[in-house]
Amino acid sequence: MTANAIADLTTDDARSIVTTRLFDAPRELVFAAFTNPAHISNWWGPRGFTTTTREMDFRPGGMWRFVMHGPDGTDYQNKVVYREIVKPERLVYAHAGEGDHDHILFEVTITFEERDEKTLLTMRSLFDTAAARNRVVEEVGAIEGAKQTLERLGEQIARMVDEPFRISRTFDAPQELVWRVWTEAEHLTHWFGPKGFPMFHAKNDPRPGGTFHYGLRMPDGGDMWGRWTYREIVPPRRLVFISSFSNEAGELAKAPFADDWPMEMLTTITLVEEGGKTTVTVESAAFNATEAQRKVFTDNHRSMQGGWSGTFEQLGAYLDEVRS
């Protein structure tokens, strides 16, 4: 998949917020990301937010009720009433807050235009008055929030285009401890990387836009460098980052083993605790990749499974050591 790029981000008039973005995916797929709760809950809202769908009745007159969970723990109740659905071309709905946010009322029109096998999405939010629009911009940062929401949609579409690599493992450790081990450099140096590739360099800046830059020593004595660029951090449940190989300076670099390996991968780490144990799921998809690179990535899922199995083995042993 090539870049999902912002084509424009502007305000149409005093009562509107208009956001457009070009996605490298067919419009049927982009439209589907809006209509399936399993998809929309993965991307709806600005970075740091998660969304729980309470009900979705996707038809004219039907309702989508959902809760947006803010990074500070605040819950925002929302409801959408669908007014017009023209699959896969157009959506029109009324969006309203509930409870403390029932003053947030606006109508949304979304169009999906075909552009050379890509999709140009335009989202227009129309408020009753300019004052109502400005209040939302000032109170909740609606313009930046719209931008971040469509960035997250682009990441979800990357997952939907091809079957992503996925692996899970349950560890006998509480979620808070596993989170620290995943996000603090002094812990990562003890376990992260394939077996036989010890980490000799680690510099971590765990915040959206920050990076984790690391160096691994290969069995033949050579050095291999990599980095994560954080997109989303939701303690202690979820990490989203762009992972890639790098050079010693932390700059993007090709894989040392294959020129046709994707330069970047979108990686999501989720941690779920139950009964004092934590299940870690790693999901990766090729990002900003050519068709050939995406195929190489998919063809190598089995070898990635082996590499991550060894990494998880080291993580389990380190967690046992930390808890003892």
pLDDT in tens, 140-158: 888 999 999 999 999 888 8
Q: Largest Cα–Cα distance of the chain, in whole Å?
A: 67
Contacts of 43 (CB under 8 A, 6+ apart): 33, 149, 152, 153, 155, 156
Least confident of 80-84, 141-145, 183-187, 191-195: 141-145
In percent, the amount of the chain with pLDDT more than 90 equals 59
- H-only helix segments in 7-141: 27-35, 37-40, 130-140
Does 165-323 match 5-161 at the fold level? yes
pLDDT at res. 62: 94
293 and 262 in contact (C-beta within 8 Å)?
A: yes
- Tell me the domain boundaries of the chain: 5-161, 165-323
How deeply is 217 buried, as exposed, middle or buried, from its count of CB atoms within 10 A (0-12, 13-18, 19+)? middle
Work out the average pLDDT over 18-31: 91
Residue 7 has pLDDT above 50, yes or no: no
pLDDT at res. 1: 41
Superfamily of segment(s) 165-323? START domain (3.30.530.20)
Mean pLDDT of the chain: 89
Residue 11 has pLDDT above 60, yes or no: no
Contacts of 254 (CB under 8 A, 6+ apart): 245, 261, 263
Superfamily of segment(s) 5-161? START domain (3.30.530.20)
pLDDT at res. 41: 84
pLDDT at res. 22: 93
What number of helices (H) and strands (E) belong to the chain? 8, 15
pLDDT in tens, 190-200: 999 999 999 99
pLDDT in tens, 290-305: 878 888 888 888 889 9
Please state, in angstroms and rounded to a whole number, the distance separating the CA atoms of residues 6 and 3: 9
How far the first Cα of the chain sits from its last, in Å, is 45
Residue 8 has pLDDT above 60, yes or no: no
